[in-house]
Amino acid sequence: MTWREGVRRAGRWLAAAWCGALALGILCMALAVLVQALAVLALALIAAMLLLPHPPAWYAERGGEAAGVFFRSLLRSAGLETSPDVDERAGTRSSDADQH
């Protein structure tokens, strides 16, 4: 083995070690960001439980109702679903107008 081959081989090992160290550093930073995000989420949940006027289940129920109304309106606007309650309300309005 010549001197140049030895230097090249050592340079390759040094470059591989440097890339590994950088990859390990990026992995550690990603893990730290994940831990921080989970900590912020935990603090937000604790603050919500302590400061909101209603229990979390109440908000979940209201959110579910709102999501249902939103998706039903999307389906109705696309013509994929007809809503009997809208038809009934429209029918009662027209019958109320006929009575007056």
Phi-psi region of 79 (alpha: psi -120 to 50; beta: other; left: phi over 0): left
For the stretch 28-52, pLDDT in tens is 999 999 999 999 999 998 988 889 8
Q: Which residue has the higher pLDDT, 88 or 36?
A: 36
Q: How far apart are CA 10 and CA 24, in angstroms?
A: 21
pLDDT band at 84 (very low <50, low <70, confident <90, very high): low
pLDDT in tens, 45-73: 898 888 988 888 898 999 999 999 999 99
